[in-house]
Structures are given as structure tokens and as C-alpha cells.
Amino acid sequence: MISFCLRLEVMFVKQLFEIDCDPQCGFMVRSHDKSETVEAAMKHVKDAHGKEVSQEDTEKMVKSV
């Protein structure tokens, strides 16, 4: 039972969210926190590409790793 609990915990800790920009840009953000990933990606698109993206659209780009 203890090992089962520990394994669940490890799986949770290893859960990562990732957003990739286009390959030419090469920007990639990874975080354990989904909203943090989305925020960082939105900031990147604004700063590096001068584009505004909605939080909803950015959330669609999130991949679980």
C-alpha cells in the first residue's frame, strides 16, 4: 500500500505541461503548473512575435509530458 501511494506521488510530481512555439522560433516552455505554462507562452508570443493570443487558444497548445 505504501509503495502504491509513493508511485502515485512520483507520477504527480513528474507531470509536466509543455507548449512549443513554431520550429523556426524554437521556444519551448515546460512547467509543473499549467497556468504558469500558459502565462509564459502568452508572454513569449507577445514579446517575441508582437502578437496577442487569448488564454483559451494558448491552453489548446498545452501538451502533457
Name the residues that contact Zn ion, by CB under 5 A.
21, 25, 27, 48
Query: CB of 45: closest distance to Zn ion in angstroms?
Result: 6
Based on CB atoms, which residue is closest to Zn ion, 9 or 36?
36
Based on CB atoms, which residue is closest to Zn ion, 32 or 46?
46
Based on CB atoms, which residue is closest to Zn ion, 32 or 43?
43
Helix (H) or strand (E) holding 57: helix 55-60
Q: What is the rounded (10 degree) CA torsion for 37, 53, 57, 61?
A: -40
